[in-house]
A and B are shown apart, each in its own frame.
Chain A
Amino acid sequence: MHVLQKHDQIVSGIDWSAKSNQIVTVSHDRNSYVWNHEGAEWVPMLVILRLNRAALCVQWSPNENKFAVGSGAKTVCICYYEQENNWWVSKLIRKKHDSSVTSVAWHPNNIFLATTSTDGKCRVFSTFIKGVDKRESKAGTSDSKFGEQIIQLDLSFSWAFGVKWSPSGNTLAYVGHNSMIYFVDDVGPSPLAQNVAFRNLPLRDVIFVSEKMVVGVGFDCNPMIFAADETGIWSFIRFLGERKISSSPSKHGSQFSEAFGKLYGQSKYGLSNDTVEPSRADGVIHENCIKYLSTTLLPSIYCYY
């Protein structure tokens, strides 16, 4: 087992590239390191992100020649490797976000990047870099220049988190802090958006298991499955964990039921003071909020906050 120690503050984002076997980490210390496995050791290489606020999230691009970093400086850094100087260069997408960038996601074409922010919006940008990316003849990417905004989605009245593209890149999903999940098809000039509200606590991250199925994780500590039917309408299906009726609810659950019990117990009409049973699943494995979801390792790894 290896301990990768270099950052001074909380490591807020991590991603492992499967093909090139590199790990990229970003931290609240405004730095990023790319770790290479040399022999028995993991060797870090500092990346000058040029941020003056914490880095919050990171993701390798599909071709693993770039990675994107979202930050509290309302900027996104797109980093690519320059062979001649043996370092990673950071190009900034600035003045496009009104608040912290909470999550980034790459489109399969390695050029489009979706971002979510605490300003409630989800945006898609082009990250085309001359010398790193090749111009495709497809209409979608041929005219885009670096940092150009393709689309802005203003569906949430609350902070937005956890954006992901479907495997084909046709559908975008992201979550809001208002217990909603947004699905957008045909991302482009005329997108089709669906707002799905659900009963539970907000999600923080999502992942596409297939073109028509999404798993979301968040404050309920119990992954939720959403799926699209034949007509393309998305809805909540069930929780991932089994619903076991256990006599001792998780620590989190009992705190809620006690609070509700006290609240309703004070009504003049003499409701009983028994605790109100929480209606959430009791097959809870996680004690704390699940913040990130990744399929780097099969089947998936959950990162705890």
Chain B
Amino acid sequence: MAGVQGFVEADNAEAIIARIEHKSRKIESLLKQHKPVEALKTALEGSPPATRDERCKSANWIVVHRALMAIKDVEGMFSSLDPEYYDILMKYLYRGLSTGDRPTCDQCLRIHEKLTERAGLGCILRCLADTVNTV
């Protein structure tokens, strides 16, 4: 299997959680301004957190989930989302699908369909094959 090298912890967990909270406030304000795509971009930036700490990953997921559920127009979102976000978005979609929660899964499935059209099967492969940067 691909080597599970010693992972360098960029920051300690507290610093990362503080950053995520800061992101969360920014996202809330963007959502109030009816800018769901900007909110999603903000949520995806800096993801996944460069750490093995599950609390940080969960905290980041909560933030991304908030932004994902606020998306109403999926096609419109893709017209303004840069391709560099596709791979990381796909990872979070799979995390969403794994929750089993009906509204989350519905939303993730809708976005997944469009994302696969845009990014292709390669995007899914990159999401599955990357066991180092999990979300």
Using a CB–CB cutoff of 8 Å, the interface residues on chain A facing chain B are 98-99, 118-121, 154, 156-159, 176-180, 197-202, 256, 260, 263-264, 266-269, 271, 276, 279
Contacts and interface: CB of A to CB of B under 8 A. Distances in A.
Nearest to B121: A201
Q: Say whether chain B's binding surface is mostly helix, strand, loop, or mixed.
A: helix
Contacts of A264: 109, 113
B8 interface: no
Q: Say whether chain A's binding surface is mostly helix, strand, loop, or mixed.
A: loop
B69 interface: no
Contact of B106 (A121, A256, A268): A268
A159 B120 contact: no
A279 B2 contact: no
Interface residues of B, number: 24
B96 to A, nearest CB: 13
The 9 closest A-B pairs by CB, nearest first: A199-B120, A179-B122, A178-B129, A158-B129, A120-B2, A179-B125, A157-B130, A178-B126, A199-B122
A99 B4 CA distance: 12
A267 B122 contact: no
Interface in B91-135: 102, 106, 109-110, 113, 116-117, 119-123, 125-126, 129-133
Given A157-B2, A267-B110, A198 B129 contact: no
B3 interface: yes
B116 A197 contact: no
B121 A179 contact: yes
B120 to A, nearest CB: 2
Contact of A201 (B3, B87, B125): B125
